[in-house]
Structure 1
Amino acid sequence: MTDLQYFQPERVADMVGEENVGEMLSGYLTSLEESLSQLRSYWTEGDVQHVRMTSHRMKSSARFIGADELAEEFQKIETDSLNEAENICEQTTRLSMVEQWCHQLTLEINHYLDSAH
């Protein structure tokens, strides 16, 4: 298996057992897709409070699977959304960057799951 760039399946295995990694990662992909859709909607609406709550939840999930760099991006979004003077939702390139990162993560997890069988 090639080196994984976006997540660490061994972290998932440490928490749920090797036999449950595939199921957890599949569940994560479903959750990621739903959460990313919610984040995009809240971002587009300029709903900073829900952007903050959604990015917090996504940060925790990313850490769970060892996607630490993505988790850091969600942490930054969460922190920056607390800045009342600046509406983070005006930074559309930031949302695009996170969406691209999530897309790459999804591809890598799917490749991992396909090769694990």
Structure 2
Amino acid sequence: MADLQYFQPARVADMVGEENVDEMLSGYLTSLDESLSLLRSYWHKGDVQHVRMTSHRMKSSARFIGADELAEVLQKIETNSLNEANNICAQTTQLSVVEQWCHELTQEINHYLDSAH
């Protein structure tokens, strides 16, 4: 299989065992889709507290599967949402970055799951 750019199946295998990687990644995709939907909703409502909580959860899950760059983006959102004087939800650049990363990650995981790796 070609080099993976967005996640590290070996990290997942280290945590759950090689035989459970595909199941874990499938579950992650479902969770990612739900979390991204929540993040969008909270963002558009201007609910900074829930943006912070959702980005924190998403960051932890991203680190678990080795999606470290996505985790860094989510860490920035979490950190920036702590600054009450600057409402992170007022601008959507960071949300767009997360959406793009999640799209690329989803495509790569689906490709990985569809391959014979």
Q: Smaller-chain TM-score range?
A: over 0.9
Percent identity between the two aligned chains: 86
Number of the residue aligned with 1:10: 10
Question: Residue in 1 aligned with 2:74?
Answer: 74
Q: TM-score, normalised by structure 1?
A: 0.98
Q: Which structure 1 residue ranges, 4+ long, deviate > 6 Å from structure 2? A: none
Q: Deviations over 1:9-60 (max 9, x none)?
A: 0000000000000000000000000000000000000000000000000000
2:28 is aligned with 1:28 = yes
TM-score by length of 2: 0.98
- 1:64 and 2:64 are equivalent in the alignment: yes
* 1:93-112 superposed matches below 5 A: 93-112=93-112
Distance in 2, matches of 1:84 and 1:18, equals 43
Taking the aligned partners of 1:25 and 1:77, their CA distance within structure 2 comes to 24
Matched residue of 2:5: which SS? coil
What is the letter of the counterpart of residue 68 of structure 2? D
Whole-Å separation in 2 of the counterparts to 1:61 and 1:96:
19
TM-superposed deviation, 1:91: 1.7
Q: Which secondary structure state, in structure 2, belongs to the residue aligned with residue 66 of structure 1? A: coil
Range moving further from structure 2, 93-102 or 15-24: 93-102
Separation in structure 1 between the aligned mates of residue 22 and residue 91 of structure 2, nearest angstrom: 35
Pairs aligned (count): 117
Structure 2 Cα separation of the partners of residues 97 and 84 of structure 1: 21
**Aligned alpha-carbon RMSD (Å):** 0.8
Could you tell me which residue of structure 2 aligns to residue 51 of structure 1? 51
